Amino acid sequence: MSTLRVPQQVPPASEDCEQLKKAFKGWGTNEDLIISILGHRNAAQRKVIRQTYAEAYGEDLLKELEKELTSDFERSILLWTLDPAERDAFLANEATKKWTKSNQVLAEIACSRSSHELLLARQAYHSRYKKSLEEDVAHHTTGDFRKLLAPLVSSYRYEGDEVNLTLAKSEAKLLHEKISDKAYNDEDIIRILATRSKAQINATLNHYKNEFGNDINKDLKADPKDEYLAILRATIKCLVRPEKYFEKSLRLAINKRGTDEGALSRVVTTRAEVDMNIIKEQYHKRNSVTLDQAIKKDTTGDYEKMLLALVGHEDA
């Protein structure tokens, strides 16, 4: 579900490109003009703008933006202007290079995207970095993390709604046995999470809760400091309740200890055209302030304006 508000009458890409070229000229960059164009165009329109810009001026729009802008505003604009698959490839590459055990970005990309979107991200990764995402994940991660993340990023799940209830029951029992034995890295747990369709996993986890009394993620909180368990919980949330996962990511990014701009930009740019309305509702319910208000309180200037445009703020 797209939540980005695109103006009814979108000017032709050539006109947008002329305006963007104008924004780069003169004594200073016209950031407002850049936001008014790129912040209000959908993925297909942004792609055409990039192609048209390259044809008209022989320059890469992304490189121009990089040259003209700075800091968190630059990052949010660059992430947003990328094609969604290129963006996922870029974020995944960054996550492998800076990988730490608490980094959940690879699980997030592998599990909250559709099979087709993940396939496109892998192809974009291949074309941009001249190697495979699977290769980099296997190279940069270790132990249980590698055991879980390598099959997740190479997954291609069935996308339909059909569910095998007998299988759901038997796999719920299997998951419960392994978790009760604290065998969190067991290959059956990883196999189920990395290969079953989201509908099938949902049915299995519903059965798990009905049969054994607890939400599976509650049973995976045995040791709150265990980072492998944290990634396992993130995997499950992204597979069955991505909007809850992203609401929590935003809540953690905007907190009293200071803003995590990297997470804030990533979540807003990757979800603005997907499920931002649902995430906003969840955020409001959970935090008693709207996401718009939280962004206004925690960010400033062009960065704030860009984020508000993307979350569909009325005045954007």
The full set of domain ranges for the chain reads: 13-69, 85-229, 242-311
Q: Which two tokens stand for residue 119?
A: 């396939």
Is the domain covering 85-229 a CATH 1.20.120.80 domain? Answer: no
The domain over range 13-69 is classified in CATH as 1.10.220.10: yes
pLDDT tens, position by position, for the chain (316 residues)?
A: 555 655 557 889 999 999 999 999 877 899 999 999 999 999 999 999 999 999 999 999 999 999 999 999 999 999 999 999 999 999 999 999 999 999 999 999 999 999 999 999 999 999 999 999 999 999 999 999 999 999 999 999 999 999 999 999 999 999 999 999 999 999 999 999 999 999 999 999 999 999 999 999 999 998 889 999 999 999 999 999 999 999 999 999 998 788 999 999 999 999 999 999 999 999 999 999 999 999 999 999 999 999 999 999 554 3
Place of tokens 């249980």: 144
Q: How many residues does the chain have?
A: 316
Count other Cβ atoms within 10 Å, centred on residue 186: 17
Mark the binding-site residues for Ca(2+), compressed into ranges.
24, 26, 28, 68, 254, 256, 258, 298-299, 304
Q: How far apart are CA 58 and CA 60, in angstroms?
A: 7
Instruction: Specify the pLDDT at position 316.
Output: 39
Q: Report the phi/psi class of residue 301: left, alpha or beta, with left for phi > 0 and alpha for psi in -120 to 50.
A: left
pLDDT value for 115: 97
Residues at the annotated binding site?
A: 24, 26, 28, 68, 254, 256, 258, 298-299, 304
Which one of 1.10.220.10, 1.10.3720.10, 3.40.50.1100, 1.10.1040.50 gives the CATH number of domain 242-311? 1.10.220.10
What span, in angstroms and rounded, lies between the C-alpha atoms of 85 and 273?
A: 13
Amino acid 136: pLDDT: 98
pLDDT for res 117: 98
Q: Which of 1, 86, 7, 3 is nearest to 272 (CA)?
A: 3
